[in-house]
Structure 1
Amino acid sequence: MSDLPEKYDTDVTVEKAGTDASPEKDSVELETGRFHRLKVLGEKLGIETNGIERIAEDARTDRRLWHNGEVWLAANCVIPTFGIGILGPGLFGLGLGDSLLTIVFMNLFATIFASLLSTFGPKLGLRQMVGSRYSWGWYGVKLVAILNSIACIGWSAINTIAGGQILTTVANQSISNAVGIVIIALCTLVIGFAGYKYVHVYERYSWIPTAIAFFIMLGLTAKEFVNLPMTTGQTEAGDVLSFAGTIWGFAIGWTSLASDYNVYMPAEASPVRVAGWAYLGLNIPLILVEMLGAAVMTVTFANPEWEALYQSQELGGLVWASLSSVGGFGKFLMVVFMLSVIANNIINIYSLGLSMQVWGSWFHYIPRSIYAIVGTAIYIPIAIAGANNFAESLSDFMNVLGYWLAIYNVIYIEEFIIFKRCSYENYRAAETWNDRKSHTIGFAAFLAGCCGAAGAVLGMDQVWWIGPLAKPIGTYGGDIGFELSFAFAGIAYPPLRWLEAKILRNYGYNV
């Protein structure tokens, strides 16, 4: 990494356990035996060996705060983002105008949360799941880490389906989706396995060819766009809410790993600048690429050839329809789009290991890089099994993801605003990050989460369930699950958290 300070390295000083006896014992045992030998081998190979340990302040030497934007720019300037956009007209029956408006306003709102949570990386020096201990509790965060691990696996599977479909189309159906899925997964594994600094180097440049390919697609297809009319009344309301829920799920998905990619930035870094770069890096690709997807999808309603390609080959067919006019060069651009998936997936595979290390002491023993291999082995067969249902799989996954992340975010943010009084110093991260008695147990967050889940059940609009509050909206219902889950959990958490803290203090907890 020639453009980073010489001291900027992932194998740097970390702060060991706090005052809790069990983590101290774990830290000692972690330095012995077979896992220590794996760590030494990783250091020799240039692989990041740090896991969920807190990064000491004198080791945070990455002062280029725009790095916090480039990661999100690259991770979202990808073909799966284009796939989100096509769902507006293609799955929810929206017109072009209401699709574009929903994309703009929903992304501008949803990305506020990831931008805010990203500021905790430099301030606390903690990965996202470890920092979540302060709100979700020492034990409660283990459930959150499990859910986040599942989300990382799901993201990876959905993304590789998109890439696999494109490669199959490029090869004129002569190879299966499975081949493309495996190729993308293995390329992702190499970078995610290597660690933090390699992820940043790759993300710094990977978005450039993809952005150029999207601009070429725009130039080739703009004359074909169709201004589909908006629907009206309840039907319009229901469709817009359901599409907004899908966009929310895609954008809010980054919050559960927001601080994983800036913990090497200095503690004195301006939170406004850190959040600003994240907000910019997220919204530029999310808004522009999703808008392009929605616009390209409208052509299928007026062009039978495009519609036939989309119906037979889904996302891959639609992309080829937009690029087929330039022949072989179009197929080259499709390969670029296929490889763009790697920029998104390495974020998930890298953070997967950090989430799994939070599950418990024994999981912390295992090096982060090993989890990258395990995760890849899990999501490849899942992606192959769902390879022929990209649009429906994407929509269902985004909505469910949006429900639980709404709960996660409102609890995290209320802890910061109400109980930490908007002060990063009140976390006392250096002393408390690995001290069990400096965190709540997690009962308050768990019970508030159950309230949020009840809200999601009441408001969700899925094929397998339409909540009673969603049914009156639109012809077939309208999804308000994430709004209700956010509200229910947000109302329940403060009194539950206050009560839990009052009880725990009687038992020697410093919460």
Structure 2
Amino acid sequence: MKVEVRSIDYIPESERHGKVSNLFFIWFTSNMQITTIVTGALGIVLGLNLTGTLLAIVIGNALGAIFMAYHSAQGPKLGIPQMIQSRAQFGFYGAILPLLLVLMMYLGYFATSAVLGGQALAGWLGMPIDVAIILVSAINALLAIVGYDLIHHYERWAGYLFAIVFVILTVKLLNMLPHHYTPSGHFTWSTFLLAISISATWQITYAPYVADYSRYLPTTTSIRQSFLYTYFGSVIGTVWMMSLGAIAISFAAKAFNANSVSFVANHIGGSLSNIVFPVIILGIIGANVLNLYGVFMSTTTTLNAIKPWNFHVSSRITIVLAAAVLGTSLAIWGQGNFLNNYGNFLLIILYFLVPWTAINLTDFYFVRHGHYDVPSILHVGGQYPLFNFRTLITFFVTIAIEVPFINTTLYEGPLAKLLGGADISWIVGLIVASVLYYALMRPIQRKDSHQSIPEATATD
């Protein structure tokens, strides 16, 4: 399989390929992994009971996935990566702001997942965890360098394997439930809403990834198909794994917090632990390659705005390896107090991504109705401004309005206190950003909203 030669440039119709059904496996498989299981445990960590946690997992994922799945249709329609589309909303240079925020998110997710991947490999083969983290990251780097087609093939075949293994683990866990479960925690609306926010965060933070993995599909791919395959793949995989995490930590919180990978493999897997360990490793690889691929896409988009150049295979290798080294270093450095740090990281990223996804979707579906001038997105001097101050105002005003509703261990806003600690900032942010952006942009809608999408020349 050849190394992918395209990066941020437009994918012409002659190179379009693949089935829309493959989107299901991308998002199903990438969620069938230990990081998702750990995230599902956070509701119990916050003090919520098991029933409330499971209900919050279902509601949060069902709502959050709506927004990430609607990004999926942008890939076939525009034929360019997800984050470079922000130039049409934020401006050619203004888009660097969300790109830098997303880069931090990619690296944060890569580091946290690398820790769990290292735990799995170390627990399986008995090697030092730092060495194990490096080895798992090296495999991720290889997949990200080869690129799009290899990632799709990996996620598809790994998805079949994961479904079989996790069906077995789920049956074993449910059989253990009557014998080992001791009720703990209690239901409060504030904690319940916070748990919903965590699950919704998981889905919304996928929004910057989505079009990257649908942009090679034919332009005739319908919005409905793209949405449904993406939505159900992500929701089914995530709800399943998060529910396992919530149930597992209810059995033995100390053992789960100490090493969630070993707990799942040894306590639940039992005699199958030698199979569970490599499956966990493969799951981490399937999720983390998306983070590394996203780093490459966002980095090339940012560098291209600062100084246009052609990104060849050598550039791809250099950027991916540099990102892998940085992410691996963060993973080795930040292994301690994992669950608490991870929960805070998820929520902090959410406050910045909510206005971005609301702006992007409002622009695509309600302002421009999917009509963009792709060459103007790819090259400076086109019909889109260098900075779109209406968008930037929307972005910062939304974040400012979110702040009073924030509830993390680092800061609790006054309105969150009035709500008993509930964090509904993501709901407020989605509404404010969508309404404000539409109000500011609709009256000055540019002529490009009525243009067809021309083919852009390759930059690689």
TM-score, scaled relative to structure 2: 0.89
Change (3 A) 1:431 1:411: closer
Shift of 1:437: 3.1
Q: Residues 164 and 387 of structure 1 are in contact (CA less than 8 Å); yes or no, is this contact kept in structure 2? A: no
Shift of 1:432: 5.6
Residue type at the aligned position of 2:66: I
CA distance in 2, matches of 1:202, 1:297: 30
Q: Per the alignment, in what secondary structure is the counterpart of residue 76 of structure 1?
A: coil
Shift of 1:308: 4.4
Shift of 1:230: 6.6
Q: Per the alignment, in what secondary structure is the counterpart of residue 183 of structure 2?
A: coil
2:73 alignment partner in structure 1: 119
Shift of 1:489: 2.5
Shift of 1:493: 2.1
Any idea what the Cα deviations from partners look like across 1:438-496, whole Å, max 9, x if unmatched? Answer: 2132212211111121123211111111011111233xx22222223323333432344
CA distance in 2, matches of 1:156, 1:363: 27
CA distance in 2, matches of 1:436, 1:214: 51
1:98-113 alignment, distance < 5 Å? 98-113=52-67
Change (3 A) 1:356 1:308: closer
Does 2:7 match 1:51?
Answer: yes
Shift of 1:373: 0.7
Shift of 1:121: 0.7
CA distance in 2, matches of 1:470, 1:417: 32
CA distance in 1, matches of 2:35, 2:254: 21
Choose from 297, 303, 324 the match for 2:249.
297
Q: Residues 119 and 129 of structure 2 are in contact (CA less than 8 Å); yes or no, is this contact kept in structure 1? A: yes
1:182 alignment partner in structure 2: 134
CA distance in 2, matches of 1:417, 1:340: 33
1:17 alignment partner in structure 2: none
1:36-115 alignment, distance < 5 Å? 46-62=2-18, 64-89=19-44, 91-115=45-69
CA RMSD of aligned residues (A): 2.3
Shift of 1:157: 0.5
Shift of 1:292: 1.4
CA distance in 1, matches of 2:119, 2:336: 8
CA distance in 1, matches of 2:207, 2:70: 9
Q: Residues 356 and 363 of structure 1 are in contact (CA less than 8 Å); yes or no, is this contact kept in structure 2? A: no
Any idea what the Cα deviations from partners look like across 1:95-121, whole Å, max 9, x if unmatched? Answer: 121111111111111111111111011
1:283 alignment partner in structure 2: 235
Shift of 1:79: 1.2
Shift of 1:144: 1.2
Shift of 1:325: 3.5
Shift of 1:212: 2.6
CA distance in 2, matches of 1:48, 1:209: 26
Compare 186-195 and 426-435 and name the one that shifted more. Answer: 426-435
Compare 364-373 and 125-134 and name the one that shifted more. Answer: 364-373
Q: Per the alignment, in what secondary structure is the counterpart of residue 117 of structure 1?
A: helix
Does 2:333 match 1:385?
Answer: yes
Residue type at the aligned position of 1:463: T
Compare 119-128 and 383-392 and name the one that shifted more. Answer: 383-392
1:14-413 alignment, distance < 5 Å? 46-62=2-18, 64-89=19-44, 91-170=45-124, 175-225=127-177, 226=181, 228=183, 231-232=186-187, 236-300=188-252, 307-311=253-257, 313-323=258-268, 325-326=270-271, 329-361=272-304, 362=307, 364-366=309-311, 367-413=315-361
Does 2:417 match 1:471?
Answer: yes
1:42 alignment partner in structure 2: none
2:453 alignment partner in structure 1: none
Q: Residues 269 and 276 of structure 2 are in contact (CA less than 8 Å); yes or no, is this contact kept in structure 1? A: no
Q: Residues 358 and 364 of structure 1 are in contact (CA less than 8 Å); yes or no, is this contact kept in structure 2? A: no
CA distance in 2, matches of 1:376, 1:500: 42
Q: Per the alignment, in what secondary structure is the counterpart of residue 302 of structure 2?
A: coil
Shift of 1:133: 1.6
TM-score, scaled relative to structure 1: 0.80
Change (3 A) 1:498 1:219: closer
Q: Per the alignment, in what secondary structure is the counterpart of residue 221 of structure 2?
A: coil
Shift of 1:317: 4.0
CA distance in 1, matches of 2:95, 2:129: 36
2:456 alignment partner in structure 1: none
Residue type at the aligned position of 1:47: V
Residue type at the aligned position of 1:114: M
Residue type at the aligned position of 1:267: T
Change (3 A) 1:76 1:363: farther
Q: Per the alignment, in what secondary structure is the counterpart of residue 51 of structure 1?
A: coil
Change (3 A) 1:118 1:369: farther
Shift of 1:259: 0.6
CA distance in 1, matches of 2:249, 2:255: 12
CA distance in 2, matches of 1:108, 1:122: 24
Q: Residues 194 and 369 of structure 1 are in contact (CA less than 8 Å); yes or no, is this contact kept in structure 2? A: no
Change (3 A) 1:339 1:388: farther
Which structure has more relative contact order (CA 8 Å, sep 6+)? It is 2
Shift of 1:407: 0.7
Q: Per the alignment, in what secondary structure is the counterpart of residue 204 of structure 2?
A: helix
CA distance in 1, matches of 2:239, 2:216: 28
CA distance in 2, matches of 1:122, 1:95: 42
Q: How many residues align?
A: 438
* Unaligned 5+ runs, structure 1: 2-45, 301-306, 503-511
Q: Per the alignment, in what secondary structure is the counterpart of residue 363 of structure 2?
A: helix
Q: Residues 98 and 230 of structure 1 are in contact (CA less than 8 Å); yes or no, is this contact kept in structure 2? A: no
Q: Residues 375 and 382 of structure 2 are in contact (CA less than 8 Å); yes or no, is this contact kept in structure 1? A: no
Change (3 A) 1:431 1:396: closer
Identity %: 24
Change (3 A) 1:363 1:182: farther
Q: Residues 367 and 445 of structure 2 are in contact (CA less than 8 Å); yes or no, is this contact kept in structure 1? A: no
Residue type at the aligned position of 1:492: L
Change (3 A) 1:450 1:288: same
CA distance in 1, matches of 2:166, 2:269: 14
CA distance in 2, matches of 1:317, 1:467: 37
CA distance in 2, matches of 1:444, 1:321: 54
